[in-house]
Structure 1
Amino acid sequence: MTGIIVVFPNKDNATNIRNLLARGGMDVIGVCSTGAQAMHYADTVDDGIVVCGYRMKDMMYTQLREYLPDSFEMLLIASQDKWSSGDVEGVVGLSTPIKVYDLMNTMNMMLQSMDRKRKKRKKEAKNRDPKQQETIRRAKELLMERNNMSEGEAHRYLQKNSMDSGTNMVETAEMVLSIMAE
Protein backbone atom coordinates (compact mmCIF):
# COMPACT_ATOMS: atom_id res chain seq x y z
CA MET A 1 0.00 0.00 0.00
CA THR A 2 1.22 3.46 -0.86
CA GLY A 3 0.96 5.76 2.13
CA ILE A 4 0.40 9.48 1.76
CA ILE A 5 1.80 11.72 4.49
CA VAL A 6 0.99 15.45 4.61
CA VAL A 7 3.55 17.67 6.41
CA PHE A 8 3.16 21.43 6.83
CA PRO A 9 4.23 23.64 9.76
CA ASN A 10 0.70 25.08 9.82
CA LYS A 11 -1.64 22.25 10.89
CA ASP A 12 -4.62 23.93 9.17
CA ASN A 13 -2.83 23.86 5.80
CA ALA A 14 -1.98 20.19 6.31
CA THR A 15 -5.57 19.35 7.22
CA ASN A 16 -6.91 21.22 4.17
CA ILE A 17 -4.56 19.31 1.84
CA ARG A 18 -5.53 16.02 3.51
CA ASN A 19 -9.22 16.82 3.03
CA LEU A 20 -8.68 17.58 -0.67
CA LEU A 21 -6.82 14.30 -1.16
CA ALA A 22 -9.43 12.32 0.79
CA ARG A 23 -12.21 13.81 -1.34
CA GLY A 24 -10.24 12.63 -4.37
CA GLY A 25 -10.30 9.07 -3.01
CA MET A 26 -6.72 8.97 -1.73
CA ASP A 27 -5.83 7.41 1.60
CA VAL A 28 -3.80 9.77 3.80
CA ILE A 29 -2.10 7.88 6.64
CA GLY A 30 -0.78 10.91 8.51
CA VAL A 31 -1.01 14.66 8.93
CA CYS A 32 1.82 16.33 10.85
CA SER A 33 3.87 19.48 11.29
CA THR A 34 7.42 18.13 11.72
CA GLY A 35 9.77 16.02 9.69
CA ALA A 36 10.30 13.69 12.65
CA GLN A 37 6.59 12.89 12.76
CA ALA A 38 6.64 12.26 9.01
CA MET A 39 9.53 9.80 9.47
CA HIS A 40 7.49 7.96 12.10
CA TYR A 41 4.59 7.55 9.64
CA ALA A 42 7.02 6.55 6.86
CA ASP A 43 8.25 3.65 8.99
CA THR A 44 4.75 2.16 9.01
CA VAL A 45 4.49 1.59 5.23
CA ASP A 46 6.71 0.17 2.49
CA ASP A 47 6.44 3.11 0.12
CA GLY A 48 4.63 6.39 -0.14
CA ILE A 49 4.41 10.03 -1.01
CA VAL A 50 5.16 12.91 1.35
CA VAL A 51 3.27 16.09 0.49
CA CYS A 52 5.03 18.98 2.18
CA GLY A 53 6.02 22.60 2.19
CA TYR A 54 9.50 24.05 1.83
CA ARG A 55 10.13 24.21 5.56
CA MET A 56 8.73 22.16 8.43
CA LYS A 57 9.03 23.04 12.11
CA ASP A 58 12.22 21.01 12.55
CA MET A 59 13.84 20.70 9.10
CA MET A 60 13.88 21.70 5.46
CA TYR A 61 12.33 19.53 2.76
CA THR A 62 15.81 18.52 1.47
CA GLN A 63 16.72 17.07 4.88
CA LEU A 64 13.46 15.13 5.07
CA ARG A 65 14.07 13.79 1.55
CA GLU A 66 17.50 12.50 2.65
CA TYR A 67 16.02 10.72 5.66
CA LEU A 68 13.15 9.08 3.76
CA PRO A 69 13.63 5.62 2.27
CA ASP A 70 14.22 5.51 -1.48
CA SER A 71 10.79 3.94 -1.93
CA PHE A 72 9.25 7.32 -1.01
CA GLU A 73 8.67 10.28 -3.27
CA MET A 74 7.98 13.85 -2.29
CA LEU A 75 5.54 16.43 -3.60
CA LEU A 76 6.83 19.85 -2.61
CA ILE A 77 4.26 22.63 -2.52
CA ALA A 78 6.08 25.95 -2.43
CA SER A 79 6.73 29.08 -4.44
CA GLN A 80 8.59 28.23 -7.62
CA ASP A 81 11.77 30.02 -6.56
CA LYS A 82 12.06 27.65 -3.57
CA TRP A 83 11.91 24.34 -5.43
CA SER A 84 13.35 25.19 -8.81
CA SER A 85 16.68 26.27 -7.32
CA GLY A 86 17.81 22.74 -6.49
CA ASP A 87 17.19 19.50 -8.29
CA VAL A 88 16.62 16.98 -5.52
CA GLU A 89 16.02 13.45 -6.72
CA GLY A 90 12.61 12.05 -5.83
CA VAL A 91 11.00 15.49 -5.45
CA VAL A 92 8.22 16.82 -7.66
CA GLY A 93 7.29 20.47 -7.24
CA LEU A 94 3.97 22.29 -7.45
CA SER A 95 4.05 26.07 -7.28
CA THR A 96 1.79 28.01 -4.97
CA PRO A 97 -0.99 28.94 -5.05
CA ILE A 98 -2.00 25.41 -5.96
CA LYS A 99 -5.03 24.47 -7.97
CA VAL A 100 -7.00 21.43 -6.82
CA TYR A 101 -6.94 20.06 -10.37
CA ASP A 102 -3.12 20.26 -10.52
CA LEU A 103 -2.74 18.68 -7.08
CA MET A 104 -5.00 15.75 -7.92
CA ASN A 105 -3.44 15.13 -11.34
CA THR A 106 0.09 15.28 -9.92
CA MET A 107 -0.78 12.90 -7.08
CA ASN A 108 -2.45 10.46 -9.48
CA MET A 109 0.61 10.56 -11.75
CA MET A 110 2.93 9.91 -8.78
CA LEU A 111 0.74 7.06 -7.47
CA GLN A 112 0.70 5.38 -10.89
CA SER A 113 4.47 5.74 -11.18
CA MET A 114 4.97 4.18 -7.74
CA ASP A 115 2.61 1.34 -8.63
CA ARG A 116 4.66 0.55 -11.76
CA LYS A 117 7.89 0.61 -9.72
CA ARG A 118 6.38 -1.70 -7.09
CA LYS A 119 5.30 -4.20 -9.75
CA LYS A 120 8.76 -4.06 -11.33
CA ARG A 121 10.45 -4.72 -7.95
CA LYS A 122 8.16 -7.69 -7.28
CA LYS A 123 8.88 -9.10 -10.72
CA GLU A 124 12.64 -8.75 -10.21
CA ALA A 125 12.41 -10.41 -6.81
CA LYS A 126 10.58 -13.35 -8.35
CA ASN A 127 13.30 -13.71 -10.98
CA ARG A 128 16.03 -14.43 -8.39
CA ASP A 129 17.21 -18.00 -8.25
CA PRO A 130 17.22 -19.86 -4.91
CA LYS A 131 20.99 -19.37 -4.47
CA GLN A 132 20.63 -15.58 -4.81
CA GLN A 133 17.67 -15.54 -2.41
CA GLU A 134 19.74 -17.55 0.10
CA THR A 135 22.63 -15.05 -0.16
CA ILE A 136 20.26 -12.16 0.58
CA ARG A 137 18.66 -14.08 3.46
CA ARG A 138 22.06 -14.85 5.03
CA ALA A 139 23.16 -11.20 4.72
CA LYS A 140 19.91 -10.04 6.36
CA GLU A 141 20.36 -12.56 9.19
CA LEU A 142 23.92 -11.37 9.76
CA LEU A 143 22.81 -7.73 9.87
CA MET A 144 19.95 -8.61 12.23
CA GLU A 145 22.28 -10.53 14.54
CA ARG A 146 25.23 -8.15 14.62
CA ASN A 147 23.46 -4.79 14.35
CA ASN A 148 20.21 -5.54 16.23
CA MET A 149 18.12 -4.77 13.14
CA SER A 150 14.65 -6.03 12.37
CA GLU A 151 14.18 -8.02 9.18
CA GLY A 152 12.65 -4.96 7.50
CA GLU A 153 15.51 -2.70 8.58
CA ALA A 154 18.07 -5.21 7.29
CA HIS A 155 16.23 -5.41 3.98
CA ARG A 156 16.08 -1.61 3.65
CA TYR A 157 19.78 -1.39 4.54
CA LEU A 158 20.66 -3.80 1.73
CA GLN A 159 18.32 -1.99 -0.67
CA LYS A 160 19.70 1.46 0.13
CA ASN A 161 23.34 0.36 -0.13
CA SER A 162 22.53 -1.44 -3.35
CA MET A 163 21.07 1.72 -4.88
CA ASP A 164 23.80 3.98 -3.48
CA SER A 165 26.60 1.81 -4.84
CA GLY A 166 24.89 1.07 -8.16
CA THR A 167 25.03 -2.69 -7.67
CA ASN A 168 22.20 -5.16 -7.51
CA MET A 169 20.94 -6.45 -4.19
CA VAL A 170 22.63 -9.85 -4.51
CA GLU A 171 26.07 -8.24 -5.01
CA THR A 172 25.45 -5.95 -2.04
CA ALA A 173 24.47 -8.96 0.10
CA GLU A 174 27.68 -10.72 -0.98
CA MET A 175 29.72 -7.64 0.01
CA VAL A 176 28.03 -7.52 3.43
CA LEU A 177 28.76 -11.21 3.96
CA SER A 178 32.39 -10.86 2.97
CA ILE A 179 33.00 -7.74 5.09
CA MET A 180 31.17 -8.91 8.19
CA ALA A 181 32.52 -12.47 8.06
CA GLU A 182 36.05 -11.16 8.66
Structure 2
Amino acid sequence: MTSIIVAFPKVEDAKNIRNIIVRNGYQVSAVCVSGAQVLQAADNLGEGMVVCSYRFRDMQYDHLKECLPKDFEMLLVASEGVLGGCVDSDIVRLCLPLKVHDLINTIEFMQASLIRRQKKKKKMPKVRSEKEQKIIDEAKKLLMERNSMTEEEAHRYMQKCSMDSGTNLVETAEMVFALMTS
Protein backbone atom coordinates (compact mmCIF):
# COMPACT_ATOMS: atom_id res chain seq x y z
CA MET A 1 0.00 0.00 0.00
CA THR A 2 1.16 3.51 -0.78
CA SER A 3 2.47 5.71 2.02
CA ILE A 4 0.39 8.84 2.53
CA ILE A 5 1.59 11.95 4.36
CA VAL A 6 -1.02 14.55 5.32
CA ALA A 7 0.38 18.05 5.78
CA PHE A 8 -1.55 21.19 6.75
CA PRO A 9 -0.39 24.17 8.81
CA LYS A 10 -3.25 23.66 11.30
CA VAL A 11 -3.12 20.38 13.23
CA GLU A 12 -6.93 20.16 13.33
CA ASP A 13 -7.17 20.38 9.53
CA ALA A 14 -4.47 17.73 9.10
CA LYS A 15 -6.17 15.38 11.55
CA ASN A 16 -9.57 15.87 9.90
CA ILE A 17 -8.15 15.02 6.47
CA ARG A 18 -6.30 12.05 7.96
CA ASN A 19 -9.51 10.76 9.54
CA ILE A 20 -11.38 11.01 6.23
CA ILE A 21 -8.62 9.12 4.43
CA VAL A 22 -8.39 6.41 7.13
CA ARG A 23 -12.19 5.95 7.24
CA ASN A 24 -12.08 5.17 3.53
CA GLY A 25 -9.57 2.34 3.89
CA TYR A 26 -6.21 4.02 3.39
CA GLN A 27 -3.33 4.17 5.81
CA VAL A 28 -1.80 7.54 6.69
CA SER A 29 1.88 7.24 7.59
CA ALA A 30 2.40 10.75 8.98
CA VAL A 31 0.55 13.93 9.89
CA CYS A 32 2.68 17.06 9.60
CA VAL A 33 2.32 20.81 10.15
CA SER A 34 5.57 22.00 8.53
CA GLY A 35 7.50 21.37 5.36
CA ALA A 36 10.51 20.12 7.33
CA GLN A 37 8.37 17.45 9.00
CA VAL A 38 7.07 16.35 5.59
CA LEU A 39 10.60 16.05 4.19
CA GLN A 40 11.76 14.04 7.20
CA ALA A 41 8.80 11.66 6.94
CA ALA A 42 9.29 11.33 3.16
CA ASP A 43 12.97 10.45 3.60
CA ASN A 44 12.01 7.71 6.05
CA LEU A 45 9.28 6.30 3.78
CA GLY A 46 11.05 6.45 0.41
CA GLU A 47 7.96 6.73 -1.81
CA GLY A 48 4.30 7.66 -1.66
CA MET A 49 2.14 10.77 -1.77
CA VAL A 50 1.73 14.01 0.15
CA VAL A 51 -1.74 15.51 0.62
CA CYS A 52 -1.05 19.12 1.56
CA SER A 53 -1.99 22.76 1.76
CA TYR A 54 -0.24 25.41 -0.28
CA ARG A 55 1.64 27.11 2.58
CA PHE A 56 3.37 26.11 5.82
CA ARG A 57 5.28 28.10 8.43
CA ASP A 58 8.60 27.24 6.82
CA MET A 59 7.87 26.89 3.08
CA GLN A 60 5.31 26.83 0.31
CA TYR A 61 4.10 23.83 -1.70
CA ASP A 62 6.36 24.52 -4.72
CA HIS A 63 9.53 24.52 -2.61
CA LEU A 64 8.32 21.39 -0.81
CA LYS A 65 7.73 19.65 -4.15
CA GLU A 66 11.29 20.48 -5.26
CA CYS A 67 12.73 18.99 -2.05
CA LEU A 68 10.63 15.82 -1.98
CA PRO A 69 12.22 12.54 -3.12
CA LYS A 70 11.41 11.85 -6.78
CA ASP A 71 9.19 8.88 -5.88
CA PHE A 72 6.68 11.12 -4.11
CA GLU A 73 3.62 12.67 -5.69
CA MET A 74 1.84 15.72 -4.34
CA LEU A 75 -1.88 16.39 -3.99
CA LEU A 76 -2.34 20.12 -3.41
CA VAL A 77 -5.57 21.13 -1.66
CA ALA A 78 -6.21 24.88 -1.94
CA SER A 79 -8.59 27.57 -3.07
CA GLU A 80 -9.31 28.12 -6.74
CA GLY A 81 -7.22 31.31 -6.76
CA VAL A 82 -4.12 29.53 -5.45
CA LEU A 83 -4.59 26.55 -7.77
CA GLY A 84 -4.78 28.91 -10.75
CA GLY A 85 -1.24 30.06 -9.95
CA CYS A 86 0.13 26.51 -9.74
CA VAL A 87 2.02 25.89 -12.98
CA ASP A 88 3.75 22.60 -12.06
CA SER A 89 2.11 19.84 -14.11
CA ASP A 90 3.43 17.14 -11.73
CA ILE A 91 1.21 18.38 -8.91
CA VAL A 92 -2.32 16.98 -8.67
CA ARG A 93 -4.77 19.64 -7.47
CA LEU A 94 -8.08 19.66 -5.59
CA CYS A 95 -10.13 22.79 -5.06
CA LEU A 96 -11.61 23.90 -1.74
CA PRO A 97 -14.26 23.38 -0.46
CA LEU A 98 -13.18 19.76 -0.44
CA LYS A 99 -15.60 16.96 -1.26
CA VAL A 100 -14.82 13.62 0.38
CA HIS A 101 -15.71 11.70 -2.76
CA ASP A 102 -13.30 13.79 -4.88
CA LEU A 103 -10.50 13.39 -2.33
CA ILE A 104 -10.83 9.60 -2.14
CA ASN A 105 -11.14 9.20 -5.93
CA THR A 106 -8.05 11.34 -6.44
CA ILE A 107 -6.05 9.36 -3.87
CA GLU A 108 -7.16 6.12 -5.52
CA PHE A 109 -6.06 7.43 -8.93
CA MET A 110 -2.70 8.59 -7.57
CA GLN A 111 -2.13 5.28 -5.82
CA ALA A 112 -2.80 3.36 -9.03
CA SER A 113 -0.33 5.61 -10.82
CA LEU A 114 2.35 5.00 -8.17
CA ILE A 115 1.79 1.23 -8.32
CA ARG A 116 2.13 1.26 -12.13
CA ARG A 117 5.37 3.24 -11.80
CA GLN A 118 6.73 0.76 -9.23
CA LYS A 119 5.94 -2.20 -11.49
CA LYS A 120 7.58 -0.49 -14.45
CA LYS A 121 10.65 0.28 -12.34
CA LYS A 122 10.95 -3.38 -11.29
CA LYS A 123 10.82 -4.56 -14.90
CA MET A 124 13.71 -2.32 -15.96
CA PRO A 125 17.02 -4.15 -16.19
CA LYS A 126 19.48 -3.40 -13.44
CA VAL A 127 22.33 -1.15 -14.50
CA ARG A 128 25.65 -2.68 -13.54
CA SER A 129 28.74 -0.76 -12.57
CA GLU A 130 31.90 -1.04 -14.66
CA LYS A 131 33.50 -3.17 -11.97
CA GLU A 132 30.58 -5.62 -11.91
CA GLN A 133 30.49 -5.84 -15.70
CA LYS A 134 34.25 -6.48 -15.76
CA ILE A 135 33.84 -9.40 -13.30
CA ILE A 136 31.11 -10.94 -15.49
CA ASP A 137 33.19 -10.47 -18.65
CA GLU A 138 36.26 -12.06 -17.04
CA ALA A 139 34.26 -15.09 -15.90
CA LYS A 140 32.74 -15.49 -19.38
CA LYS A 141 36.21 -15.22 -20.92
CA LEU A 142 37.51 -17.91 -18.58
CA LEU A 143 34.58 -20.23 -19.41
CA MET A 144 35.12 -19.60 -23.13
CA GLU A 145 38.83 -20.48 -22.92
CA ARG A 146 38.58 -23.51 -20.61
CA ASN A 147 35.32 -25.06 -21.84
CA SER A 148 35.37 -24.05 -25.52
CA MET A 149 32.14 -22.07 -25.23
CA THR A 150 30.93 -19.12 -27.23
CA GLU A 151 30.26 -15.89 -25.35
CA GLU A 152 26.51 -16.51 -25.57
CA GLU A 153 26.88 -20.05 -24.19
CA ALA A 154 29.07 -18.83 -21.33
CA HIS A 155 26.56 -16.12 -20.50
CA ARG A 156 23.63 -18.56 -20.56
CA TYR A 157 25.59 -21.01 -18.41
CA MET A 158 26.25 -18.33 -15.78
CA GLN A 159 22.60 -17.20 -15.91
CA LYS A 160 21.43 -20.78 -15.31
CA CYS A 161 23.88 -21.25 -12.43
CA SER A 162 22.74 -17.92 -11.00
CA MET A 163 19.08 -18.91 -11.12
CA ASP A 164 19.73 -22.40 -9.76
CA SER A 165 21.77 -21.12 -6.81
CA GLY A 166 19.58 -18.06 -6.12
CA THR A 167 22.44 -15.61 -6.43
CA ASN A 168 22.82 -12.64 -8.73
CA LEU A 169 24.93 -12.83 -11.88
CA VAL A 170 27.87 -10.93 -10.38
CA GLU A 171 28.12 -13.33 -7.42
CA THR A 172 27.92 -16.29 -9.80
CA ALA A 173 30.67 -14.80 -11.96
CA GLU A 174 32.83 -14.37 -8.84
CA MET A 175 32.23 -18.03 -7.89
CA VAL A 176 33.08 -19.23 -11.42
CA PHE A 177 36.23 -17.12 -11.38
CA ALA A 178 37.22 -18.39 -7.91
CA LEU A 179 36.63 -22.06 -8.78
CA MET A 180 38.45 -21.98 -12.10
CA THR A 181 41.51 -20.05 -10.91
CA SER A 182 42.17 -22.04 -7.73
Same fold (TM over 0.5): yes
Q: What value does the CA root-mean-square deviation take over the aligned residues?
A: 1.7
SS across alignment from 1:58: coil
Residues 99, 119 of structure 1: alpha-carbon distance in 2 compared, 3 angstrom cutoff = same
Identity rate of aligned residues, in percent? 44
Q: How many residues align?
A: 133
Q: Which residue of 1 aligns with 2:179?
A: none
Q: Which residue of 2 aligns with 1:25?
A: 25
For residues 88-121 of structure 1, give each alpha carbon's deviation from its aligned partner in whole angstroms, at most 9, with x where no partner exists.
1421110000000000000000000000001001
Q: Distance in 2 between matches of 1:135 and 1:101?
A: 51
How big is the shift at 1:46? Answer: 2.2
SS across alignment from 1:54: coil
Q: Which residue of 2 aligns with 1:133?
A: 128
For residues 10-33 of structure 1, give each alpha carbon's deviation from its aligned partner in whole angstroms, at most 9, with x where no partner exists.
000000000000011111110010
SS across alignment from 2:44: coil
Q: Where in structure 2 are there 5+ consecutive unaligned residues?
A: 134-182
Residues 114, 136 of structure 1: alpha-carbon distance in 2 compared, 3 angstrom cutoff = farther
Instruction: Point out 4+ residue stretches in structure 1 off by more than 2 angstroms.
Output: 134-138
Q: Which residue of 2 aligns with 1:98?
A: 98
After TM superposition, the structure 1 = structure 2 runs for residues 3-14 of structure 1, keeping only pairs within 5 Å, are 3-14=3-14
Q: Which residue of 1 aligns with 2:71?
A: 71
How big is the shift at 1:134? Answer: 2.8
Residues 84, 136 of structure 1: alpha-carbon distance in 2 compared, 3 angstrom cutoff = farther
Q: Where in structure 1 are there 5+ consecutive unaligned residues?
A: 139-182
Q: Distance in 2 between matches of 1:70 and 1:136?
A: 27
How big is the shift at 1:56? Answer: 1.0
Q: Distance in 1 between matches of 2:28 and 2:119?
A: 21
Q: For residue 61 of structure 2, what is the amino acid of its counterpart?
A: Y
How big is the shift at 1:65? Answer: 0.3
Q: Distance in 2 between matches of 1:102 and 1:28?
A: 17
Q: TM-score, normalised by structure 2?
A: 0.69
Q: Which has the larger radius of gyration?
A: 2
Q: For residue 22 of structure 1, what is the amino acid of its counterpart?
A: V
Residues 136, 101 of structure 1: alpha-carbon distance in 2 compared, 3 angstrom cutoff = farther
**Do the aligned residues in 2 keep the contact of 1:78 with 1:96 (CA within 8 Å)?**
yes
SS across alignment from 2:70: coil
